[in-house]
Structure 1
Amino acid sequence: MTNKLSPTAISLCLVSALLLAPTVAQEQPALTKTLQAEDVFALEHANSVQISPDGNYIAYVRNSFDIMTDNTRRGLWLVDTATGQHTPLFADKHSYGNPTWSPDGKRLAFTSNRSGRNQIHVFWVEEQRVAPVTEVPKSPSQMAWSRDGEHLAFMMAVEEPKSDFAKSVHTPKKPSKAKWGDSPIIVERTLYQRDGRGVTKSAYNQVFVVPSEGGSARQITDGPFQHRGPLVWADNDQQIVFSANRNKDWEYQSRESDLWAVKLADNSLHQLTDLPGDEYSATLSPNGQQLAFIHGENTPVPYRNGTLHKLDWDTGALAAIKTNFDRSLGSPKWMDNQRLTVQYNDRGLTKVAEVNLNGELTERVSSLGGTYVSRPYTSGMYSLAPQTGAIAFTHATAYDLANVAVEVNGEVQQYTDLNSDVLGYRDLGEVKEINYTSSFDGTEIQGWYILPPGYEAGKTYPTLVEIHGGPHAAYGPVFGIEHQRYAAEGYVVLYVNYRGSTSYGAEFANLLDGFYASERDFADHMSGLDKLIEMGIADSDNLFIAGGSAGGIATAYAVGLTDRFNAAAATNPVINWVSKTLTADSSIGQIQNQFPAMPWEDLAHYWKRSPLSLVGNVTTPTLLFTGELDRRTPMAETEQFYQALQLQNVDSVMVRVPGAYHGVTAKPSRIVAKVEHALAWFKRYRKE
């Protein structure tokens, strides 16, 4: 099943990679030219950055946009850390992902559709050859090498048999060449839909094992339960650890999962943990004795921190690694038997730190991010070379997306520069930090604002408040093309981490518990706007507001509380919390952890939080922008607000995006569409 690439074939791969790489216009623009809508198609960023165990190589997925297909291209590239040589392994018409190094660093597993369906492939670095190792019907994910390198574990969705009811339905035989309508879809599950996929089949992720040289994949878990990774080989490669809720009523338990181990010899299962809440992200120490993992409590509040714990493999004894650090920890990786690395968000920055078993943290990296193209969300990932302690990560700045970088002994070296051919010829808006107190109760708020290119001190500018989603998410001082595009058209762009945002601790994140949306987060944004007016930056006669998802809700709520904005643009908003929670894919978790009771038990609370309750006050011209297939904030939410505004003769427009789910900017053309529709709407009401 292996095919060695000849030198000629390797050369052809390199040539095809260069030919297929994104290009910019032949005539380079002047340095002072501002960011254009079409520039999104030329942007690239690194992701899935994986450093080899010895630190000699970094494999990563290079993401670029294809202007002809309006999709993302994902090539697989390799960096030699000693020489800095940067070469494509695979950069062609196929898609590549999930690079995973073998324990000896001599092989690289990855997924690709290069052989038809998405399969696991292995690349031999020194021999320069590649071969598929699976032939499975669905896309594999969550790959993990056994410690001896002889096997790969992975997950794959497996459909459950039809129910007795579905089997009993009589279906007449269709005559030859007859054209009947599509068959009805039978829905029997509680969690029957998923944004991005629509109504889903009864299929569940199961654990599989396949020889790393290729062969038949063997399923080792079963049952109607959603198992999840990462997968961990333990007990001298005799068992595999995973996370799952295998309780009968798991669909109603939105915050419950445990660590399990399955024996390869007989597929028998053993439950390792039983804490109240979620246990996930397991990782095994080099000596195989300690299993570290993340735990989240099941308290019915909107937000909880992920905390670090460990389990003694031989005794089963559990203990928390107490850090006394009020941040949510994730992605633990063992450096040695006494230290781990963890990732977390802190005041709008994504960081990596070392932590010892006494819970003492030492910060290593503070510039992860750049993997979210459209808006400046905290993002990014890292990997660890256990033999050297080097950390490879997606490095971001306020003026560029993710590049490949490595930190060793406090020194950071950047290996790629993916966007200098585009952003190096654009005059971007300057990003500046702002801190102030909310007029509601004096809560401290951190945020950032972008000045328009060519900004002149002492002159006021039209100002846009742009609100992030979540609300339990965070913005940071990283590049987002939407915000820079607004700035390029002459707007000051204010974006803040209002109460409810992550990266400021659990108490701050839960300040919206019972008050989402409300006058509280509204005051956080208005106070920032007032600060910019006081600073002589914002033009008080040219104020605008926009946001997506939770930011769309906040935008719709804000125009019901004030008429100080010239115009508003709400993307993917919730307008009526009763209809939202009873139609969206997030219904159970949201009702259980965000609301005091079922909708019919406390209708007043749901109505108070709904922008529809304030629609009678709205006079602000409002644009609504939503994907027609959205199952997180369904299209009917947007339709309710639009029709209510129309009934009151409020200037309004509804922009419906065909084929788009909640991730309405998943395609580059839709990033452009979202921003350009908002800019056109604002221009109509902007005072010169």
Structure 2
Amino acid sequence: MKQLIMEADITRLASVTDPQYSPDGKKLAYVQTKVNKKQDSYDAHIMVFDTETEETAQWTFGTGRNQHPRWSPDGRMLAFTSNRDDSSQVYVIHTAGGEAKKVTDIPYDVVQPEWSPDGNYLLCSVKLTKTESVKDEKKPEIEDYEPLEVDSLTYKADGQGFKRGKYTQLVFVQIETGDMKQITACERDHVSHAFSPCGEKIAFCANLTEEDDNRVNDVYLMTLSSGELKRLTGQNGIFSSLSFSPDGKRLAFLGHEKEFQNATLDKAWMYDFEKDELTCLTEMLDVHLNDAVAGDSLVGGVLPKPAWTKDGNGFYVIGTDQGSTGIYYISTEGLAYPVRLEKEHLNGFSLRPDETGFAASIALPVWPSELYDIALGEDKAKRLTDANEDFVKEHIISTPEEFQFETADGLTVHGWLMKPAGFEEGKKYPLILEVHGGPHAMYANAYFHEFQVLAAKGSAVVYVNPRGSHGYGQDFVNKVRGDYGGGDFDDVMAAVDHVHAHHDFIDQDRLGITGGSYGGFMTNWAVGHTNRFKAAVTQRSISNWVSFYGVSDIGYFFTDWQLGADLFEDPDKLWDRSPLKYAERVETPLLILHGERDDRCPIEQAEQLFTALKKMGKNVKLVRFPNASHDLSRSGHPKQRIKRLQYIAGWFDSHL
């Protein structure tokens, strides 16, 4: 008999990510991540699927995270990173068998290995200060009482904490000897590196302007023999995901020139080295070429770089559209169209060497991420792995029902309704509204554990993509900017009205609302502007834009980008759009969940709201999660993730 889904079942889920075909197409490496209950952490292992025998073999074992598998150009070796010895180092394993060889052994994490075309070197990333070196034998210890000197606005980052002068530098690693050579030294982050096919040049992204808080990420080409740098973009955009064409004459990448600040769709770009010309290939494509899905059940996802065809006439990338992600083909002439766009969350892919199809990691609404084989031109996908099969077979999984409606100002809003797991005709059920973060993200046709838990507890769940969400074009994603708590609030409330009007099993007197980050802002805003909700749970939220400006790692530019107001130019607008201003109106019982190491929405946002409501005698409770960052719900400690779900479900159980 199938069981109802429980909060702790999140430890049963496996994440299948980052598929990588071997050069001959006979093997398919990928990463499978699971919860290690004993250590309250995650174990990630390199798995290899044999395309001829259709059998999977596990290539790494033990505890820790083994990630980023990359085949050598001749297919004889597989490089990957592993933190099995505390820090993340690069290992190489021969495909003929044997133990993995530790290639790097330094006191700093080494990540993102990429092979040189001749197979003799790896180009990797290491975070270093100006006084640290890949030659160091011991990592400098930082005493608890050591003062932190701050002279930059970018001194901290969520999930990383205080940077303490560390920047991502690029290093060469010689495969045979393990010798390492640092090739960048500027005190800026150098990311998204790629080798040219000739091996004489590399490309990477960095902000090398005079101001380290300048919100740009340019593309650079470095000639290795001389160290000469050439900037390929105009110091006005944010770019990443670099990939050379097979002949080395072109470089493809993704990004935008901030026309709508961080609400701008990522586009496909190409630099032609012979013409010395930069071109946006998808100017007319109203699709975000990235993975914008908001979820809680995928750990370790990796956005693939543009995958060129052998003839160099185009490449494949992931695109976000209409509640799904798929594979888009982009030609060098600017032709762009989807080759795979189904109702699913396709979070990674690898092009077959013979270019007849793809291997893709895909999550479905009723089945967490697995590896699939997709023939080019065919809709049907063949599942290759069964990492989550037992979980799916043993549990009652609610199937989301899609809907859409037109807003009062003529927009179309897309969403889903999930019935309670034990739904019975004729009974009335509470309804919980979920609001995603971002706001420039998207709920999708994907498994979402939190929703399944709430459905298993006997609630219907509605979740929608209001204006500001990705997946519905540039105008739609931009409409929230300058209007937080306006049209977006109308959209989510209209969703509640829509499902109530079309489903008589919803009890209008038992409505709940929850969300995190921007969704937490919207929860706070909602309870200050309507008493329709009988219970609310706000997570990692924003309550006061005035203080957010100075305490968030992104506050000093995000408030201007999103609210259209700077603290010193229009403080009244920041306060008017702050849920804290309306605390006296709140009558809804409110549970506040917040991580103590959240640098994106620092915990003072929760403290201010809690203090105000408690002083006024409101029904409010604050739960603090020690050492948890903004990503608690997605990649936090498993025990804390379970506790979080228990708090959410328990609050709604008590009040609905």
**TM-score strictly above 0.5:** yes
Task: Quickly say closer, same or farther: Cα 1:115–1:603, change in 2 above 3 A.
Answer: closer
How many positions carry a matched residue from both structures? 626
Match of 1:332 in 2: 306
Task: Quickly say closer, same or farther: Cα 1:630–1:320, change in 2 above 3 A.
Answer: closer
Give yes or no for contact 1:34–1:426 (8 Å, CA) kept in 2: yes
Match of 2:140 in 1: none
- Structure number with greater Rg is 1
Which deviations, in whole Å up to 9, do the C-alpha atoms of 1:113-142 show, x marking residues without a partner? 345532111111124442122223311222
| Equivalent residue in structure 1 for 2:146, among 183, 202, 218 | 183
Question: Distance in 1 between the 2:115 and 2:149 partners?
Answer: 39
Match of 1:292 in 2: 252
Question: Distance in 1 between the 2:41 and 2:630 partners?
Answer: 17
Task: Quickly say closer, same or farther: Cα 1:576–1:117, change in 2 above 3 A.
Answer: closer
Q: Which amino acid in structure 2 is aligned with residue 635 of structure 1?
A: I
Any idea what SS the aligned residue of 1:424 has?
A: helix
How much does 1:338 deviate?
0.6
Match of 1:305 in 2: 265
| Equivalent residue in structure 2 for 1:438, among 394, 403, 407 | 407
Match of 1:407 in 2: 374
How much does 1:81 deviate?
1.5
Q: Does structure 1 residue 640 correspond to structure 2 residue 608?
A: yes
Question: Distance in 2 between the 1:367 and 1:153 partners?
Answer: 35
Any idea what SS the aligned residue of 1:73 has?
A: strand
Question: Distance in 2 between the 1:300 and 1:186 partners?
Answer: 34
Task: Quickly say closer, same or farther: Cα 1:379–1:585, change in 2 above 3 A.
Answer: farther
Give yes or no for contact 1:134–1:214 (8 Å, CA) kept in 2: no
| Equivalent residue in structure 1 for 2:101, among 125, 131, 151 | 131
Q: Does structure 1 residue 34 correspond to structure 2 residue 4?
A: yes
| Equivalent residue in structure 1 for 2:83, among 95, 102, 113 | 113
Question: Distance in 2 between the 1:637 and 1:342 partners?
Answer: 38
How much does 1:594 deviate?
2.0
Match of 2:352 in 1: 385
Q: Does structure 1 residue 357 correspond to structure 2 residue 336?
A: no
Give yes or no for contact 2:528–2:586 (8 Å, CA) kept in 1: yes
Question: Distance in 1 between the 2:108 and 2:354 partners?
Answer: 35
Any idea what SS the aligned residue of 2:425 has?
A: coil
Question: Distance in 1 between the 2:427 and 2:288 partners?
Answer: 41
Match of 1:44 in 2: 14
How much does 1:592 deviate?
4.3
Structure 1: which 5+ residue stretches go unaligned?
A: 1-29, 163-179, 370-377
Question: Distance in 1 between the 2:4 and 2:563 partners?
Answer: 45
Question: Distance in 2 between the 1:329 and 1:51 partners?
Answer: 22
Which deviations, in whole Å up to 9, do the C-alpha atoms of 1:566-591 show, x marking residues without a partner? 11100011000010121111123314
How much does 1:357 deviate?
2.1
Match of 1:661 in 2: 629
Give yes or no for contact 1:546–1:555 (8 Å, CA) kept in 2: yes
Q: Does structure 1 residue 268 correspond to structure 2 residue 197?
A: no
Match of 1:607 in 2: 575
Any idea what SS the aligned residue of 2:199 has?
A: coil
| Equivalent residue in structure 1 for 2:496, among 524, 529, 532 | 529
Q: Which amino acid in structure 2 is aligned with residue 292 of structure 1?
A: A
Q: Which amino acid in structure 2 is aligned with residue 464 of structure 1?
A: I
How much does 1:92 deviate?
1.3
Q: Which amino acid in structure 1 is aligned with residue 280 of structure 2?
A: A
How much does 1:631 deviate?
1.0
Task: Quickly say closer, same or farther: Cα 1:154–1:448, change in 2 above 3 A.
Answer: same
Q: Which amino acid in structure 2 is aligned with residue 685 of structure 1?
A: H
Q: Which aligned pairs between 1:387-536 and structure 2 lie closer than 5 A?
A: 387-409=354-376, 410=378, 411-439=380-408, 441-516=409-484, 518-535=485-502, 536=504
Identity %: 30
Any idea what SS the aligned residue of 1:185 has?
A: coil
Q: Which amino acid in structure 1 is aligned with residue 162 of structure 2?
A: V
Match of 2:643 in 1: 673
How much does 1:269 deviate?
2.1
Give yes or no for contact 1:55–1:390 (8 Å, CA) kept in 2: no
Q: Which aligned pairs between 1:47-196 and structure 2 lie closer than 5 A?
A: 47-115=17-85, 117-161=87-131, 182-196=145-159
| Equivalent residue in structure 1 for 2:202, among 214, 235, 240 | 240
Give yes or no for contact 1:300–1:594 (8 Å, CA) kept in 2: no
Question: Distance in 2 between the 1:138 and 1:129 partners?
Answer: 23
Give yes or no for contact 2:322–2:471 (8 Å, CA) kept in 1: yes
Task: Quickly say closer, same or farther: Cα 1:295–1:532, change in 2 above 3 A.
Answer: closer
Q: TM-score, normalised by structure 2?
A: 0.92
Question: Distance in 2 between the 1:148 and 1:228 partners?
Answer: 22
Which deviations, in whole Å up to 9, do the C-alpha atoms of 1:266-306 show, x marking residues without a partner? 32322233263123222111111111122311335340011
Q: TM-score, normalised by structure 1?
A: 0.88
Which deviations, in whole Å up to 9, do the C-alpha atoms of 1:165-224 show, x marking residues without a partner? xxxxxxxxxxxxxxx972222222221111122222101111111223342111111111
Question: Distance in 1 between the 2:494 and 2:470 partners?
Answer: 20
How much does 1:427 deviate?
1.1
Q: Which amino acid in structure 2 is aligned with residue 286 of structure 1?
A: P
